[in-house]
Structure 1
């Protein structure tokens, strides 16, 4: 389906994790404008106050139902809460399932690889950043199975760090690389599901501020500081527009990693 043929994404059930701030918030607000009446947005994040603020911004969208789930999707209870909301919202009336796996964390970038000796610490990071999107995606696809007339799209919010090593970013790079491979395998196994790993680029977010302040490697830290001082960071809205263009045109190869600068 090309953008010329359709300026909307259908009557959709759309699940977005990490939806309360930054890129996830931008996706929730802008994607909602492309949904037909009868669509449902399930927004998940750890911050209930921020979630309610996003829900309030969406309140005027006619025919759109919004369900907020305050949950840590890195924990079983959080995943269960999102899945419950998804099952309650699913119906035969939707013609498009959209899952945006956006929730992620930077991890501790103040140490190099040899500084990570605690198995529970690393396991906790991987639970949120790798295990959670895998389990949520599997659960959602099982809850909304293939049927005639239903499109299913899964987006993994990725990073250049999935492809290139950044010194002192071992947790983040490892997590993003593992996520990309997870969704490449999914694309091979489920040919009817449209799978995209989208790298939104260097965004002007809290994560970028953390990177500028805490990155142990001086060259990497300086590169982020220079990008900020030289105005090279992207707004979440600008990057989100590129993602929505990809979803509307629906011309990407399923399983591919697409960078914001490729669009």
Structure 2
């Protein structure tokens, strides 16, 4: 993949301020040709500001326009939409639109299935983790070619009812997108067990003691992945572009 490029592209990356999203932004940037636009989206203004400053310093030919937005709300989605409309006026001049749905949360993993949270908590979780990804069709400006849409997936874990259900919903949602739109490249990427704040929550807050112990052992034995290692695998997948649209590819399969 050395020397390969994603061309002159517009890239919208959610959950960009830390962890996997931040690593991905820094690895995608050098693969975007002059005139490309990168729109990192996150709830953390501080993290976004740091990322934007680093990107502008290291890649001066890349146009970076970060957006602070809560994607669990209609207002947050509209903020991103307006940024896309404002920053991509010359859509016909771009070769590719790349939308990466990386934003997500664990939900309340301190409760088992039978102790499921209130309907309001469930609806709030799905608004952020499913509805926001479903509504990203509004981010597809007229005149741009099809784009890979990237989501994450997981296996069933005890006490992770909301998380696992949300990821399965997203995976199926994007399989439907792939079937309906042959011109759009769709990929669901499972990044593996990453050494992030989410993993820290997993080994301390999971209701199931076996789950806590499993993740603790992974941390202590050095089995957790650095975000940049997994992000590089994803960038390689995009550059090679040989996956079947709608496919689900796990880091550990590569």
Q: TM-score, normalised by structure 1?
A: 0.93
Residues 1:120 and 2:120 aligned together:
yes
Of 146, 155, 169, the match for 2:150: 155
Contact 2:8 2:34 in 1 (8 A): yes
Post-superposition CA distance 1:114-165 (Å, at most 9, x none): 11251111000000000001102x1122x2455xxx3522111x13x2xx32
1:243 is matched with which residue? 234
Contact 1:168–1:216 (CA<8 Å) still a contact in 2?
yes
Residue 73 of structure 1 corresponds to which residue in structure 2?
71
Evaluate the alpha carbon distance shift between residue 204 and residue 71 of structure 1 in structure 2; reply closer, same or farther with a 3 A threshold: same
- Looking at structure 1, the residues matched to 181 and 80 of structure 2 have their Cα atoms a distance apart, in angstroms, of 22
Are the counterparts in 1 of residues 42 and 69 from structure 2 also a CA contact under 8 Å? yes
Contact 2:19–2:227 under 8 Å retained in 1: yes
Say whether 1:228 aligns with 2:219: yes
1:1-43 CA distance string (max 9 Å, x none):
xx47x61101010000010000010111110010000000011
**Distance apart, 1:192 and its partner CA:** 0.4
1:56 aligns with 2:56: no
Contact 1:197-1:255 at 8 Å conserved across structures: yes
**RMSD over aligned Cα, in angstroms?**
1.2
Does structure 1 conserve the Cα–Cα contact (< 8 Å) formed by 2:108 and 2:117?
no
Partner SS, residue 42 of structure 1: strand
SS in structure 2 of the partner of residue 109 of structure 1: coil
Between the two proteins, the alignment pairs up a number of residues equal to 251
Aligned to 1:167: 158
1:23 aligns with 2:24: no
1:197 equivalent to 2:188? Answer yes
In the other structure, the counterpart of 1:85 is 83
Contact 1:11 1:38 in 2 (8 A): yes
- CA distance in 2 between partners of 1:254 and 1:185 (Å): 10
Q: Distance in 1 between matches of 2:117 and 2:215?
A: 27
Aligned to 2:139: 140
Conserved in 1, the CA contact under 8 Å of 2:189 and 2:248?
yes
Q: For the residues of structure 2 that align with 1:23 and 1:261, how far apart are their CA atoms?
A: 16
**Structure 1 stretches of 5 or more lacking a match?**
none
Is the 1:95–1:151 contact (alpha carbons within 8 Å) kept by the matching residues of 2?
no
Q: CA deviation at 1:89?
A: 2.2
Unaligned runs of 5+ in 2: none
Task: Please say if residues 199 and 260 of structure 1, whose CA atoms lie closer than 8 Å, have aligned partners that are also in contact.
Answer: yes
SS of match in other structure, 1:152: coil
